[in-house]
Structure 1
Amino acid sequence: MHINKGKSLAQCLADRTDYAKNPDKTDGGELVSSFMCDKDLVDSQFLLSKKIYLQKTGRTQTNDVIAYQVRQSFKPGEITPELANKLGYQLAEKITKGSHAFIVATHIDKSHIHNHIIWNSTNLSCDKKFRDFFRSGRAVAKMNDLICLQNGLSIIENPKGKSKHYGSWLEENKPLNLSDKLRIVIDEVLAEKPKTFDEFLQKMQSKGYEIKTGKHLSFKGSEQKKFIRLRSLGESYAEDILREVIEGKKEHKPQKRVARYNDKRINLALDLQNKINQKGAGYERWAKTFNLKQYAKTINYLTENNLLNYEELKIKAEGITEEFSTISDSIKSAEKRMTEISILQKNIAQFAKTKAVYEDYKKSGYSSKFKEEHITEILLHQAAKDHFKSLNLKKLPKMADLKTEYATLLTEKKKAYSKYNSLKKEIVEILNAKANVEQLLDIQTNEKQQEKKRTEKSL
């Protein structure tokens, strides 16, 4: 992010951060988190750091970068806003390595939840700048993919550089929309070989579609709020082409969409009863085939792992879930403490470097002239003291002890991550297998009925 022509540095910082924090996009500001800055004063604090940097280094540059931004998007329906913000924070920590203040604003105004991650180009010590590097975008993408995979989220597995925009990729991989459903119904009606175009329209009406004639032929299903024009469905569905297909002059070429899923993994079976009526016969055929494949994979998994008894499967799933949660909590705890240590080390070093100047400031009787001449050192010293006060530190720890603790935590974290990654695949498979068994045998419904009977008896 650079300074816009005709605007001041302060105006540009305010514009960029205000857009990210927009209350209408971030649930009233609830979905905004920050590191080493106040989210409500982030633009002012970024600005202050740049003034200190100038006084401290004397370096000025034209068209300098004032901040950096990453936009992190998630597949629709796959993540909660709260988790998205949390993962955005993790990504920002990896990018900045705890050296730059940042905010993470999660926008929920679109179908795809996405984060705006903005960090200060000036570091926390106000003596260096963040510098972009060759293929940094690829490095950030790899960091993001790792975080997503660790949380069971989708990634773009085979990106093709700039050949396809992410929005285009998302468009191809999203669930069936109203236009897709209309195409499927038209394909089904044409498969019934209507003799005339009027017969075709009658069959469409019998499928629940309202028809509007005129300059453009349009259809409206029960789920639609507006009519969809045939010409918007693609060349194969244009009115004149459909007429020629019905007259036998042309062969219909359906616009196919391939359902994508990983054949090697057990996926959740679809709840057919709740979805088939909404999506039509074409979807029903695909969904039933999909479910048969998932049930077959589930049975193979249960047989290979000797989990054919439901109660044993349930106990095993609960055990793995608890173990996974414990390891996850230990990793978060270690990361939190490592961040605290890193920040504390920087403040201790900053405190030591500026102590002599601050002592002279006190001896001067807190002279305004002395303060103006040494404003950078004084502000840094006060900031360090404020940090120690926030931690209720009466005595500063030794740097050597902090380094030892950090190294120990790092070793423990690496070991925990190794176990975390091995458990991740196992927990996804066993939970999906358990859910498929429950749907196949309707166990949840039976358990609820039994619970209801027990409650009625107790009353």
Structure 2
Amino acid sequence: MAVLKHIAIKNVDYSAAVCYLKYQHDERHLKPLLDENGSMMLRSEFHMNGVNCNPDTFDLECEMLNDQYRKNYRYDEVKSHHYIISFDPRDKDEHHLTGEKAQTLGLEFVKNHLPGHQALVCTHTDGHNGSGNIHVHIIINSLRKLDIEPQSYTTRSIDCKAGYKHHLTKDYLKYLQQELMNLCQRENLYQVDLLSPAQHKITEAEYWLQKRGQKELEDINEQIIADGMNPMETTFQTRKQFVRNAVSEISSSAISFEDFQSQLFEKYKIHVKENRGRYSYLHPEREKYISGRSLGTNFDKDYLLNLFEANALAAEQEEKQRQTMPDYHADPIAILFIRSDLRLVVDLQNCIKAQQSRAYAQKVKISNLQQMAKTVAYIQENGFDTRENLQTTYDSITSQMHDARQKAKDTEAQIKSVNEQIHYLGQYLSTKSTYNEFLKACFKGKFRKDHADEIEKHEKAVQILKAQNPDDSLPKMKDLKLEKERLLALKAAQYDTYTYYKDYQKELRTACANVDNILGQHHIRDHTQRTEQTL
């Protein structure tokens, strides 16, 4: 998945950026690596181009532009902006992404969305600290060199004029993220929704803490193994990750905040509190609370309350289902079914193989006698005193099997409806920005013609979503996903019930057929077979 990162740089030395892009550095301390002669070493592979400047004289040209407009002199001013586009490591092998292609995409991104600036575009193929993912560095002078046409993301007239500084707003950053997503989708590269908050938010600092901790733990474990002992822990986890794992486990079954709070402390000694509409967690070895927002959206109040509500609803429905299950003590028809090894008695008169072989016929007779004896024992154990009573039980179980299957089918239809809403809600969100631009466009006819496919998808999604929601409000994605999880769990339970009745019915059908053979009542057996054919 491609991600976009932004860093504001206040360093007045533009040549430091050029040095970083061209030469190998210790990524942790950002210091150049030196060879045995004390000289800096070039990176093994990199691709560098300049936009509105020469890449070899980027630093000098930026300083000349600053002097021309007498800006970027104060120490607290942002001198340059550093954007990083990191592609998914899988794109390299699965989608044949190369350094040259990534560089081309980076140049296209700069020319289309960062116009008018002196920009240095450089692609590295070694990844951060040797991780292997291809990424593009984009460094622009904060001062704009050329006038540009007004863009959809510009909010001030000076944002289009030379001599004024790059103004990155929240809306502008969202625009850049959306354009990066569109670019990756066009090139069939891995991509996630950058505009949605992360469900599990891991900062760069935590990521490298995890890497260092795992390396240290492996070194310690090597020494423990060398001493002939087995290490107790093989995976290092940060305190934040410990909280994430604990909250994910407890919240999957908690039905209220109080239940969640007590279970979390009882099992993991983690305190949780609510403050200003947000949840915060206290790790047993920390003194400062960790906010749920810093852990990800799956650990904040809104998501967890919806999950508790879904858990409570599922528990309520499970209780209702349990109450509607037959009373195995009061109802003789619904004696708890335990599968037996009862098999059908073979009809020798219609068995061609038995008529052709006396030995096989003798074997079948012995087997029939055994099955008849088992059938008699089965009838006695289950309290079937008459053939009619056995038939009544069979008919009742068949009816309950039909009801259980119909309930499962109804739930499948609800799941299909929810899946459809998820699909069209995703379509709505992905085309929302284009549709908003269409509403603001001066020449709507031309804009619709140029973006006909996206506008049509957006309008169709709105129409279907409103048709499926009587109050004309659009559903929330997280609510739909929670509802889908609840329905999937309900469907699994309903199919378990259906399978129970199906196995029970099959055994009763075998018992009915064997009793008919014993009594010679073929008409009753034929009735049983006709009943089965109607299922």
Instruction: State the structure with bigger RCO (CA 8 A, min sep 6), 1 or 2.
Output: 1
Answer with 1 or 2: which has the greater Rg.
2
Which band: TM-score by shorter chain?
A: 0.3 to 0.5
Q: TM-score, normalised by structure 1?
A: 0.35
